[in-house]
Chains A and B, each alone.
Chain A
Amino acid sequence: MDAHLDLEKLGREAEGAIAATKEPEDLERIRRHYLGRRGVLAGLTARLPQIDAPERPEYGQRLNALRDRLIQAIDDKEASLRLRATSTRLDAEKIDVTLPGRRRRLGRRHILGRTLQEVQDIFLGMGFEIVEGPEVESEEFNFERLNMPRDHPARDAQDSFYITDDLLLRTQSTAVDARIMIGRPPPMRVLTTGRCYRRDASDPTHMPIFHQVDGFMVGERITMADLKGVLAAFARQFFGPATATKFVPSYFPFTEPSAETLVSFRGTWMELGGCGMFHPRVLEVAGLDPERYSAFAFGWGVERPAMVRYGIPDLRLFWENDLRFLGQF
């Protein structure tokens, strides 16, 4: 009985020591003390033969049970010590998450370039071919092939920068249309964007340099209804699905009939730009038979729609390249 009582006492003593342990090293020491090869339990096991034979089996069982109990207690304690250590370390590693992040500087497109890209993408989706043309043009392509001979009053609205008597900075990207149409078999649907130049002094709504979008479509069945449909589709895509468009008569030497496109935006009508059916003379000089083919064409400046859309008050901001401005878009 004494031996049994001793075991019980030993167990309580060991458990007390385990529970009181605070450091993993102490726990290891306790483990070695009780469960090591030369530990207390190993000693008791070695002395097993000295126990009276009738009591030996039960004593052996109790000894094993005690060993299991202690192993379990030590493992549990170890896990709990590890948990506490981790949590202490994590506590110590705490940072102030409200300090500013370390950012990579993101580059970005110029807002006008991005607007042009957006316009291109919409027309790309309608099967247009996106092309480019020269910024320095001849009288022939900038004016004459567009039915604007010398002394045409419509030239007044397009005061030009001349380089020679014949070469000038293009005043409209419609010049590209005149180039592209030559020698190509219809159908064609083409869109071009780029810089144009007019001798307008700089102010909040004018610059001698601006960007234009210009497109046309030639085919055997192209009508003004198609023009309205295509531009209305563009406007809905660019300004939003509820956008309404309105076409009012206008005058351009290279289209007949001609129209101005207006777009409803935030409760007002904004002039988008000119459009119409290519004048038969424009088709003729491009080598296209106006009896067989018809074409619609349209063109507008990109700055104004961008200004309206983003609420930009002054055209000159586009060209100043203040990074605080460019970074807003």
Chain B
Amino acid sequence: MKVLLSWLRDYVDIPSSVDGLAERFEMLGLGVEGLDRFADDAVFDLELPANRGDLMSLVGVAREVAASLRGSVRSPIAAAGGVPRLDAPTAGEAAQGVSPVSGPASVEVHDPELCPRYTATMVLDVTVGPSPQWMAHRLDASGIRSINSVVDVTNYVMLELGQPLHAFDYDRLGGRRVIVRRAHDGERLVTLDGIERDLSPQTLVIADSVRAVGVAGVIGGADSEIGSATSRVLLEAAAFAPASIRRTSKRLGVRTESSARFERGIDIAGVPAAAARAAGLLREVAGGRVLPDVVDVYPHPVPPRTLDLRWTRVARLLGVDIPMSDGEVILVSLGFTVARTDGVLRVGVPSHRRDVEREEDLIEDVARHYGYEHIPEAMPVERTATGTRAPVLVTEEAARSALIRAGLTEVLTVSITDPESLDVLRLPAAHPWRQAVRLKNPLVGEQTQMRTTLLPGLLETARTNISRRVHDVQVFELGRVFLPRDGRVAEPRRLGILMTGSITDGTWNSPAESLAVTFYHLKGVAEALVAELRVAGAVFDAGQAPWLHPGRAAVLRVAGDSIGLLGELHPDIAVAFDVPAATYVAEFDLDRLLAESTLAPQYRPLPRYPAVRRDLAVVVDEQIPAQAVADAIAGAGRPLLESVELFDVYTGAQIPIGRRSLAYALTFRSPDRTLSAGDVDVVIAAIRAALERDLQAQVRD
């Protein structure tokens, strides 16, 4: 809200400079978002708290400033010589929500819940013309265009007191009546901005006997607008239910100075005073004659609120002892009434402070005006506790660390995605990843759903980097995906990996092809990960996925369950996505991986006796997976065989067509003695026999 300094000075004496006042505003919690300085004046643009409708007025801001100086405000109402005589409705009339015509206006409020108070003041014989210069200037400095003397008065009083007002051309109101009701189904209204709007039965309107003439509290209608020919004005000052105004304003997409105030809540007790202030100004600037009989439909007056403030609670909550008398002064200068009894302040809340509902609200006001800067910095006196991390965060960190040590860089990709990103993966229509959690109100056209896989984000990362000539992309992401589950949303953790380009940087004289990432580099990362997490029984098998090269895809199984797929990106996707054919991707069920991990390692004795190494070349049918050969060797070599390490794979001369040679380095060791050649020969013979029997292998050692 814009605050013109010279105008503010009408209501409060401000001894400080512009900068001093800006600082004062900040320390009171009124953020200074903008500050325009002029030779002898300034305009502050204040950011006001959402719960303080009362601050959306010069007088409200003046009250805060006055209280911070422990002073008081000059009310414009008092300055205008008091409020003209108001005729309160009789109790019977009030209960029916209907006021009789007293003077020429008739007002009916059909929905007192949405319109708890409505006043109508008649001003006759006005001359609509330009406003006086001082008024136009003040409006202009506050960001409101001057229109004519009548409209300007309503805006002026709104800025001054925070009460939105509306002036109707009385002679354009059908039946010379005002009816406050909900809109009819299908009712339409052309509003002041010239737009024809569809109203709904949730919309509260101001109507005459024929049609709606304004959207209550939000925007007036074009038909009953004040024009140069207007001579009789019906001045509306009312209170509307904040929630209803907010909903209507949202639905219509119209936010006005008026709706902004009503949705925060206005001072319902101050409505007649604002009406009287406006009527007085109209008389002054538009030469009107104010009828003394003001209609005031206020069937259920809001009782004043009284709160007890136990002074011990102030120190208990703030951690500082503030003298009770200081608190008293602060509250009184903010407009509260205070009666002091034995450690408790009995506080009367002024009607404009709708936000003050509990003791804590009073404590906040005391704290603000005492100054947050005077609250000391302390450390909590509580039972000492050790900091802890949720176990899943600990295991996740272990996984992250293993991947980073494997040379991969962590990335973060957005979790709101585009359904087409799944088309890129060539997913069939029935694939579970197609069952995405959809957003009801997406922000960007195509970003309509939550990710079900990390792969599209990783592919996008690769594409972005490669398009910028960063070709070596070896990245991973640990993140959640979102899956619908029984009307709720499951958020499983996944690990995604993408590797392409060359495996290391800063090399020379090394043939590029020897450095290129291959399937086995990706598998090596996966192996290192399961080894670091000590996942027992992890096995890699040939696998299948629509996004992977059919001959270069593997599945990682733990205890027989698939927990993820890895492999070379399908060549068609690589082409479509503009990434190299040698792009390798993996996605794993991280929850499962973490659940299977064992982070507390156990010591195993270091070997005391020397090992014996033997090499073994095994020629087998090409179709037999290397894993089967290694398994057979390991099975037959127990317990002296310590490790089986593949060091050569060969097809070609001297090997029959359709077969290949796999060469292994075998390490044998006994925990309790030095093995003799004879010991090892026996085991080798057993291995050889097993290979020949089970895999029809030829074995050479």
A: which residues have CB within 8 A of B? Answer: 99-110, 112-113, 120, 123-132, 134-136, 150-154, 156-157, 161-164, 167, 169, 187, 189, 195, 197, 199-201, 208-209, 217, 219, 221-226, 228-230, 232-233, 246-251, 253, 256-260, 277, 279-280, 294, 318-324, 326-327
* Complex-state Cα separation, A109 to B387, whole angstroms: 23
Q: Is the CB of B28 within 8 A of A127?
A: no
Query: With A128-B387, A189-B385 in contact, is A251–B49 under 8 Å at CB?
Result: yes
Please, which residues of chain B bring their CB within 8 A of the CB of A167? Answer: 488-489
Please, which residues of chain B bring their CB within 8 A of the CB of A232? Answer: 377
Please, which residues of chain B bring their CB within 8 A of the CB of A225? Answer: 318-320, 375-378
Q: Is the CB of B404 within 8 A of A108?
A: yes
Residue of chain B at shortest CB distance from A101: B506
Cβ of B102 < 8 Å from any Cβ of A? no
Interface SS majority for chain A: mixed
Q: Which of B28, B246, B385, B404 contacts A151 (CB 8 A)?
A: B246
* Complex-state Cα separation, A127 to B503, whole angstroms: 42
Within the complex, the shortest CB–CB distance from A305 to chain B, in Å, comes to 16
Q: Is the CB of B385 within 8 A of A187?
A: yes
Please, which residues of chain B bring their CB within 8 A of the CB of A246? Answer: 373
* Complex-state Cα separation, A209 to B451, whole angstroms: 13
Please, which residues of chain A bring their CB within 8 A of the CB of B413? Answer: 319, 321
Cβ of B410 < 8 Å from any Cβ of A? yes
Within the complex, the shortest CB–CB distance from B318 to chain A, in Å, comes to 5
8 Å CB interface, B463-492 against A: 464-465, 468, 470, 472-475, 480, 482, 487-489, 491
* Complex-state Cα separation, A100 to B264, whole angstroms: 67
Q: Is the CB of B416 within 8 A of A197?
A: yes
Cβ of B208 < 8 Å from any Cβ of A? no
Q: Is the CB of A107 within 8 A of B385?
A: no
* Complex-state Cα separation, A317 to B393, whole angstroms: 26
Q: Is the CB of A224 within 8 A of B375?
A: yes
Within the complex, the shortest CB–CB distance from B23 to chain A, in Å, comes to 10
Within the complex, the shortest CB–CB distance from B455 to chain A, in Å, comes to 14
* Complex-state Cα separation, A32 to B668, whole angstroms: 49
Residue of chain A at shortest CB distance from B26: A248
Q: Which of B317, B361, B489 contacts A224 (CB 8 A)?
A: B317
Q: Is the CB of A253 within 8 A of B388?
A: no
Please, which residues of chain B bring their CB within 8 A of the CB of A112? Answer: 412
Residue of chain A at shortest CB distance from B318: A224
Cβ of B133 < 8 Å from any Cβ of A? no
* Complex-state Cα separation, A108 to B408, whole angstroms: 7
Q: Is the CB of B364 within 8 A of A256?
A: yes
Besides A150-B243, A153-B246, A248-B29, 14 more A-B contacts (Cβ < 8 Å) are A100-B506, A107-B405, A124-B387, A132-B392, A154-B51, A156-B50, A161-B416, A163-B489, A189-B380, A229-B379, A247-B375, A250-B49, A260-B29, A318-B412
Query: With A108-B409, A249-B28, A251-B49 in contact, is A321–B465 under 8 Å at CB?
Result: yes
* Complex-state Cα separation, A260 to B26, whole angstroms: 10
Cβ of B368 < 8 Å from any Cβ of A? yes
* Complex-state Cα separation, A221 to B378, whole angstroms: 12
Q: Is the CB of B384 within 8 A of A135?
A: no
Q: Is the CB of B504 within 8 A of A253?
A: no
Please, which residues of chain B bring their CB within 8 A of the CB of A129? Answer: 385, 387-390
Q: Which of A120, A277, A327 contacts B409 (CB 8 A)?
A: A327
* Complex-state Cα separation, A277 to B359, whole angstroms: 13
* Complex-state Cα separation, A265 to B543, whole angstroms: 54
Q: Is the CB of B403 within 8 A of A136?
A: no
Residue of chain B at shortest CB distance from A228: B377
A–B complex contacts, Cβ < 8 Å, 24 sampled = A100-B508, A101-B506, A102-B506, A104-B504, A120-B389, A124-B387, A124-B388, A131-B390, A134-B489, A136-B482, A153-B51, A161-B416, A161-B439, A161-B442, A163-B450, A200-B443, A223-B378, A226-B378, A226-B379, A248-B372, A279-B360, A321-B461, A322-B470, A323-B470
8 Å CB interface, B22-42 against A: 26-29
Within the complex, the shortest CB–CB distance from A329 to chain B, in Å, comes to 11
Q: Is the CB of B411 within 8 A of A326?
A: yes
- Residue among B247, B377, B383, B468 facing the most chain A CB atoms (10 A cut-off): B377
Please, which residues of chain A bring their CB within 8 A of the CB of B482? Answer: 135-136
Q: Which of A110, A125, A223, A249 contacts B364 (CB 8 A)?
A: A249
* Complex-state Cα separation, A130 to B393, whole angstroms: 8
Q: Which of A130, A209, A230, A257 contacts B390 (CB 8 A)?
A: A130
Query: With A156-B50, A223-B319 in contact, is A110–B412 under 8 Å at CB?
Result: yes
Residue of chain B at shortest CB distance from A152: B50
Q: List the 6 closest pairs (A to B, CB-CB), nearest first.
A: A249-B29, A225-B319, A223-B319, A251-B49, A124-B387, A151-B243
B: which residues have CB within 8 A of A? Answer: 26-29, 49-52, 242-243, 246-247, 263-264, 316-320, 358, 360-361, 363-364, 367-368, 372-373, 375-390, 392-393, 400, 403-416, 437-444, 450, 461, 464-465, 468, 470, 472-475, 480, 482, 487-489, 491, 503-508
Q: Is the CB of A323 within 8 A of B409?
A: yes
Query: With A153-B264, A250-B29 in contact, is A107–B407 under 8 Å at CB?
Result: yes
Within the complex, the shortest CB–CB distance from B7 to chain A, in Å, comes to 24
Q: Is the CB of B382 within 8 A of A222?
A: yes
Q: Which of B243, B406, B442, B464 contacts A321 (CB 8 A)?
A: B464
* Complex-state Cα separation, A154 to B385, whole angstroms: 35
Q: Is the CB of B406 within 8 A of A107?
A: yes
Q: Is the CB of A161 within 8 A of B358?
A: no
Please, which residues of chain A bring their CB within 8 A of the CB of B473? Answer: 323
* Complex-state Cα separation, A238 to B384, whole angstroms: 23
* Complex-state Cα separation, A123 to B358, whole angstroms: 32
Q: Is the CB of A251 within 8 A of B29?
A: yes
Within the complex, the shortest CB–CB distance from A199 to chain B, in Å, comes to 5
* Complex-state Cα separation, A230 to B387, whole angstroms: 14
Please, which residues of chain B bring their CB within 8 A of the CB of A127? Answer: 384-387
Please, which residues of chain B bring their CB within 8 A of the CB of A187? Answer: 382-383, 385
Q: Is the CB of B470 within 8 A of A324?
A: yes
Q: Is the CB of A228 within 8 A of B375?
A: yes
Q: Is the CB of B317 within 8 A of A294?
A: yes
Within the complex, the shortest CB–CB distance from B307 to chain A, in Å, comes to 13
Query: With A224-B317, A233-B379, A322-B468 in contact, is A130–B388 under 8 Å at CB?
Result: yes
Please, which residues of chain B bring their CB within 8 A of the CB of A217? Answer: 380, 382
Within the complex, the shortest CB–CB distance from A238 to chain B, in Å, comes to 16
Please, which residues of chain A bring their CB within 8 A of the CB of B382? Answer: 187, 189, 217, 219, 221-222
Q: Is the CB of B52 within 8 A of A251?
A: yes
Q: Is the CB of A195 within 8 A of B415?
A: yes
Please, which residues of chain B bring their CB within 8 A of the CB of A248? Answer: 26-27, 29, 372
Q: Is the CB of B316 within 8 A of A294?
A: yes
Please, which residues of chain A bring their CB within 8 A of the CB of B26? Answer: 248
Within the complex, the shortest CB–CB distance from B501 to chain A, in Å, comes to 10
Please, which residues of chain A bring their CB within 8 A of the CB of B385? Answer: 127, 129, 187, 189
* Complex-state Cα separation, A263 to B404, whole angstroms: 33
Within the complex, the shortest CB–CB distance from A126 to chain B, in Å, comes to 7
Q: Is the CB of A230 within 8 A of B379?
A: yes
Residue of chain B at shortest CB distance from A318: B412
Q: Is the CB of A110 within 8 A of B404?
A: no
* Complex-state Cα separation, A154 to B439, whole angstroms: 22
Q: Is the CB of B441 within 8 A of A161?
A: yes
Q: Is the CB of B378 within 8 A of A319?
A: no
Within the complex, the shortest CB–CB distance from B405 to chain A, in Å, comes to 7
- Residue among B363, B367, B373, B386 facing the most chain A CB atoms (10 A cut-off): B367
Residue of chain B at shortest CB distance from A198: B443
Please, which residues of chain A bring their CB within 8 A of the CB of B491? Answer: 134-136
* Complex-state Cα separation, A157 to B413, whole angstroms: 25
Please, which residues of chain A bring their CB within 8 A of the CB of B408? Answer: 107
Q: Is the CB of B440 within 8 A of A162?
A: yes
Within the complex, the shortest CB–CB distance from B463 to chain A, in Å, comes to 11
Residue of chain B at shortest CB distance from A221: B381
Q: Which of A99, A105, A126, A201 contacts B472 (CB 8 A)?
A: A105
Please, which residues of chain A bring their CB within 8 A of the CB of B393? Answer: 130, 132
Q: Is the CB of A106 within 8 A of B489?
A: no
Q: Is the CB of A103 within 8 A of B243?
A: no
Query: With A132-B393, A153-B264, A209-B416 in contact, is A277–B317 under 8 Å at CB?
Result: yes
